[in-house]
Chains A and B, each alone.
Chain A
Amino acid sequence: MKKHEKNRNVAIIGIGQTTLSSHKEDQNQVEMVAEAVRNVLADANMTLDDIDCIVHGNMELFEMQFQPDMWHALGCGSYGKEEYRITTGGTVGATLVCASDSLVASGQYDTVLCLGFEKLQEGNTTGGITNMADPLWFRNLQTGALTSTTATEMIKEFGKDRVLRAAMKYRIMMDKHAMLNERAHRRLGLEYDQLETLMETSPQLVGELRLIHMCSQSDGACAMILTHEDRVKKGTAKPPVWIRDHETSHRGENMSNLYGAQKPKSTHRDCAERLFKRNGITNPLEYFDVFEMYDPSAYWGLDWLREFLLLKDDAVLKLMEAGEFDLDGKLPVNPSGGVIASNPIGATAMLRPAEAALQIRGDAGGHQIKKEVRHALASGFGGTLWTVMLMLEKELNW
């Protein structure tokens, strides 16, 4: 596979988030995206005059706003500027960062601001997700992103008790991380000694999937500013975080094929294999210092770790049981609390590289990992099991 050569290197030089909440009732959409844009400009010590292009995205049918970038022109600062609106479903936030990387690397734009948002309070999220399926064949069977299939498959593979415990431990670990992140939406204060109680008492959704396992429904926005190497050399307000590479793996719509007798290769593993091979990463578990993963439920979080990290057999459960995904573990996963804590969908996949970049900068505040973070991985999830992955670096030395 040919080596990935960019026309010019690109760094993240600004990160801005809104607070994340189930109801941001004091703001309309424009005011909410403006909060993220103000924050990212302050973080980069820039003004809108420094920005050449805005990249905007979310999922239109969640808020029922047709081409929302038009209304948002004032809030996201695109007036008089170039603008792209690129969407890919749940992966959109990560796609916006990948797109901005390409726009800057191309030499056509010097400094780009990307913005992902969702105000899920204003729409019907599950209704919106159900609308994803074909109206003729699958829509009445579609149950949104909610699935217990992974739980059932893992139980079949590793035994019920072990899987149920590992999944609930994962859930509690995420809450412990979220407790350290003052921006996170759901911070419940769960303790590991509640593990067995939660396994019994949390309302059952489907099979072994319980309410406590699932991600939240949040309002919020995330924005980032990207620029090129020569601009970075002139000095930046915060340390630059370099985008080394990114990759996307999507697949077709037919959900039934995903759960047929023969399980197809996951896009997570496919994407990870391509990305790591191209960059000469043989052991991702050793290479990366942090992984911000789009984890919509505790079972998916657990299952997908083995796909992303190319783990075999029960390695993922062993690592989970040994606490290796904790903040002081071998590979800390989602120090921010992840998607289970906060999920403004159009921003969610951008919060992953944003949080990973904050870790590299050493700027994550309460949820900063103690050891130095030099190599970070971030993933987005969406659609019918789609994947976007980004590799971020502290040094420009690969």
Chain B
Amino acid sequence: MATKRVAICAVAQHKNEPDLWYRRFQNMLLDVLEDLQEKTGFTYGENGVEMIVSTSDDFFDARTISNNGVTDVIGGQYLAEEKMAQEGLNAIGYANSIILSGHKDLVLIMGHCKESQGESRNMITNCGFDPFYGRATGLDYLNAAGLQAQAYMRKSSLTDDQLAEIVVRSRQWAAKNPYANAREAVPAGKVKASPMLCDPIRQLHAYPVSDGAVGLLLASEERAKEFTDKPVWITGFANCMDTFFFGDRDLTSNFALKKATANACRRAGIQDLKKAADVVEVMDCYAYQQPMWMEGLGFCGDGEGGRFVAEGGPGKYRVNLSGGTLAGNPLIISGLYRAAEATLQLQGGAGDRQVPDAKCAVAHSTNGPAGQFHSVLILEA
């Protein structure tokens, strides 16, 4: 009979770096894999891992069928290997379903992305717009975020000072995270004086270009104890898609995130996420997104992101103690880093960042231009 719940047994992270020009992504994955095998002792094949969900992107890897370049390195020889071609947090949602379905009882998740390999991230995300309208006008995910930031800051009274405060705090926490990319402290003045990328987004409001890789081992309830004595249970996962054309959307509404949150909470049996969560990891590619996504997750009321920051919400709700995406994770696997940090917190393995007695954690990720798509993962110790 199929399992009732699924555990994350262990996570392994490659340190995020601005430009690992001397390492191929295969090398990075191999380090992560060996780390994960050391932690859990898992093997491949019958009674071991028979199913791998990889996460990578054809554009960032500049190769068609990007998982083809890593199938052997992640142990996929003559096994089932599939690629999550969305943001990596969805790989955890998918793997959760595979194990709940009874099809496989162990799933290995291996994600990688080297943003440094492309000449510009914006060149890639420009190709995310439809070739007739958006792409032709030069829209990319940064531009899209700029438009959203303008609208959201007006709606929520979020100030430039608060954006700087969010970045300063991110760096303070990143300094305690050995896997973070941007770990050096920055004063608020430097953030506010950093070059304007796309009004109101300044260079230090934007996540730095990063190379990274993450691995996780998931198991059915019955098998989790073979690999860990600190299983972290997946109790709720959901995602949601908003519409594509900006004219069809209210960029400040958090439509997709609110719906994904409601569905994840329903599956986890949680009434009030704000009360339940001990740790929250959100994918904040740009500083304005941290309060905006917290609003979408229900930690403050509609349009209250400015007040949320002013009242110390990020500290109170222990938001992004990893440093968050602002401290540097690649776009495609930022959600896997969020989940990795959440797992470490619930396992008591988060070092200097550890929240005492953390029982419930939320990991969030977003995909597409201006938060078109959101994913929410709820984990419990």
Question: Which of A's residues lie within 8 Å of B, judged by CB?
Answer: 1, 4-7, 28, 30, 54, 57, 59-62, 64-67, 69-74, 78-89, 95, 98-99, 101-109, 128-129, 131-135, 247-254, 265, 267, 270, 382-384
Please give the distance in Å from A329's CB to the nearest CB on chain B.
31
10 A-B pairs with least C-beta separation: A252-B72, A7-B2, A105-B101, A248-B80, A89-B65, A106-B100, A106-B97, A66-B127, A66-B128, A70-B368
A36 to B65, CA, bound (A): 24
Contact B76 A252 (CB under 8 A): yes
Contact B67 A88 (CB under 8 A): yes
B103 nearest CB neighbor, chain A only: A102
| A80-B259 contact, Cβ under 8 Å, with A250-B79, A252-B76 | yes
Answer yes or no: B42 CB below 8 A from chain A CBs.
no
A132 to B71, CA, bound (A): 13
Q: Which listed segment binds A: B223-231, B240-248, B356-364?
A: B240-248
Which residue of B46, B64, B129 is within 8 Å of A129 (Cβ)? Answer: B64
Answer yes or no: B81 CB below 8 A from chain A CBs.
yes
Contact B242 A66 (CB under 8 A): no
| A71-B100 contact, Cβ under 8 Å, with A81-B240, A82-B238, A88-B83 | no
| A108-B65 contact, Cβ under 8 Å, with A82-B240, A251-B77, A254-B72 | no
Contact B72 A84 (CB under 8 A): no
- Measured between beta carbons, the chain B residues less than 8 angstroms from A98 are 82
- 8 A Cβ contacts from B47-105 to A: 51, 57-59, 62-65, 67-69, 71-73, 76-86, 90, 93-94, 96-103
Contact B72 A89 (CB under 8 A): no
Contact B68 A5 (CB under 8 A): no
Q: How large is the interface on B (under 10, 10 to 19, 20 to 34, 35 or more residues)?
A: 35 or more
A104 to B98, CA, bound (A): 10
| A87-B373 contact, Cβ under 8 Å, with A105-B102, A131-B63 | no
- Measured between beta carbons, the chain B residues less than 8 angstroms from A85 are 84-86, 90
| A87-B85 contact, Cβ under 8 Å, with A70-B368, A249-B80, A251-B72 | yes
Contact A99 B94 (CB under 8 A): yes
Contact B131 A108 (CB under 8 A): no
A70 nearest CB neighbor, chain B only: B368
Question: Which of B's residues lie within 8 Å of A, judged by CB?
Answer: 1-2, 46, 51, 57-59, 62-65, 67-69, 71-73, 76-86, 90, 93-94, 96-103, 124-132, 237-244, 255-256, 259-260, 263, 267, 367-369, 372-373
- Measured between beta carbons, the chain B residues less than 8 angstroms from A270 are 78
Please give the distance in Å from A353's CB to the nearest CB on chain B.
16
Please give the distance in Å from A280's CB to the nearest CB on chain B.
17
A76 nearest CB neighbor, chain B only: B241
Contact A253 B68 (CB under 8 A): yes
| A5-B85 contact, Cβ under 8 Å, with A73-B372, A81-B240, A251-B71 | no
Contact B64 A6 (CB under 8 A): no
- Known pairs A74-B243, A102-B98; list 15 more (Cβ under 8 Å): A28-B132, A60-B59, A61-B63, A65-B128, A66-B125, A72-B244, A78-B241, A80-B241, A80-B256, A85-B84, A101-B101, A101-B103, A131-B62, A249-B78, A251-B72
Which residue of B57, B103, B373 is within 8 Å of A83 (Cβ)? Answer: B373
Please give the distance in Å from B261's CB to the nearest CB on chain A.
13
Please give the distance in Å from B22's CB to the nearest CB on chain A.
14
A10 nearest CB neighbor, chain B only: B101
Contact B86 A67 (CB under 8 A): yes
B24 nearest CB neighbor, chain A only: A136
B375 nearest CB neighbor, chain A only: A82
Contact B82 A88 (CB under 8 A): yes
Contact A248 B239 (CB under 8 A): no
Contact A84 B86 (CB under 8 A): yes
A28 to B94, CA, bound (A): 29
Contact B82 A86 (CB under 8 A): yes
A6 nearest CB neighbor, chain B only: B102
- Which of B51, B103, B256 has most A Cβ within 10 Å? B103
- Measured between beta carbons, the chain B residues less than 8 angstroms from A107 are 100-101
Contact A60 B58 (CB under 8 A): yes
